[in-house]
Amino acid sequence: MDIFDEAREILAQAGWIAYFTRFQPPNKEVTIEFLQNLQNGQSMVRGRKITVLDAVIAEVSGLPAEGPVWAGNRLKFHDAIEAFRDEGQELIKKGKGLRPSSLREPWGELA
């Protein structure tokens, strides 16, 4: 995975490196089959039954099973940017995001 050293450090501190290193090129057929067969927390892909549980997703993704739940919850933009804001810092909106120059380092350079 080719990423900036600064980004790798941030991802490592957040515990996300394992997740990103598990990415493989997407397989459209498998993805569609999984989604078409998904019912009641289970799916069938290529004849294999897949149970969709928090613990299974955590094991496959390498992410912890505990923490904030993001799927299914709409997060307001204002709430999402709080992780990037220092006390007293004003973040400037630009389009649907933020102006990178208003972010503290290393976020500004990475953005």
Pairing of strands 93-94, 48-51: unpaired
Paired tokens of 3: 């990423």
pLDDT in tens, 29-86: 888 888 888 888 889 999 999 888 878 777 777 777 777 665 555 556 666 667 667 7
What are the angstrom distances between the C-alpha of 71 and each of 29, 68, 76, 77? 23, 9, 13, 15
Whole-model pTM? 0.38
Contacts 24+ apart (CB under 8 A), 4-10: 4/110, 6/106, 6/109, 6/110, 7/106, 7/110, 9/106, 10/106, 10/110
What is the DSSP code (8-state) at residue 55?
Answer: H
